[in-house]
Amino acid sequence: MVSWIISRLVVLIFGTLYPAYYSYKAVKSKDIKEYVKWMMYWIIFALFTTAETFTDIFLCWFPFYYELKIAFVAWLLSPYTKGSSLLYRKFVHPTLSSKEKEIDDCLVQAKDRSYDALVHFGKRGLNVAATAAVMAASKGQGALSERLRSFSMQDLTTIRGDGAPAPSSPPPQGSGRASGKHGQPKMSRSASESAGSSGSLY
C-alpha cells in the first residue's frame, strides 16, 4: 500500500506536473527543439498510462513492481538517458508511420458511426421526452378538469344551502290552546270593566 502511494505521487509530480511546466516553457519560448522533445515525451507517457491501467491490475503482485514504475518514469525524463526520445524514434514513430493510413480510416469510420449513433439516440431521446410531456400534460389536464368539476359541484351545493329558506317549525300544539284560555279571561275582564265604567256614568 505504501509503495503504491509513493509510486502514484512520483508519477503525478515528476511524470505529469514537471513535464507540463516545461512544456509550457517550450511553447512560450517557441523553441522547436524543446517543443518536439516534450511532444515525444507526452506520446510515450500516454502509452505508459494506458499500459499502466492493465498492469496495475495483473502485475501489482510482481516484486518491486512499483519501484520499477518509478525507475521507468525517471528514465523517461532523464536528460542523460533520453528515454522518451529513444522509445519514440525506435518503436513508436516507425509503427505509427507504417499503420497511419489504417489508423486514420478506423478513426474516420468510428467518427461517422459515433455521429450516426449520437443522432439516432438523440432522436429517440427527443421522441421519448415529447411522448412523456404529452402524457403528463393530458394527465394533468384530466386531473385539473376533475378538480374543477368537484369544486363547481361543491359550490352549487353551498349556494343551494345558503339560498334555500330554513324550514319553519310548527308551533307547539299546546301554545294555542293556552293562549286561548288565557285570552278569554282577559277579554271578559276588560269587558266587565268597560261595562262597570259605563254604568257608573249613568
- The identity of residue 192, as a single letter, is S
Residues of the chain with pLDDT > 70, as a percent, come to 69
Name the grid cell of 67. Answer: 519501484
pLDDT of residue 64: 86
Tell me the per-residue pLDDT of 168-197, one tens digit each, with 9 for 90 and over.
Answer: 555 555 444 444 444 444 444 444 444 444
* pTM for the whole structure: 0.55
Crossing angle between the packed helical segments 32-58 and 18-29, to the nearest 10 degrees: 160
pLDDT for residue 15 is more than 80: yes
Residues of the chain with pLDDT > 90, as a percent, come to 24
Distance CA 86, CA 36 (A): 13
Number of H helices, E strands in the chain: 8, 0
Tell me the per-residue pLDDT of 18-51, one tens digit each, with 9 for 90 and over.
Answer: 999 999 999 999 889 998 999 999 999 999 999 9
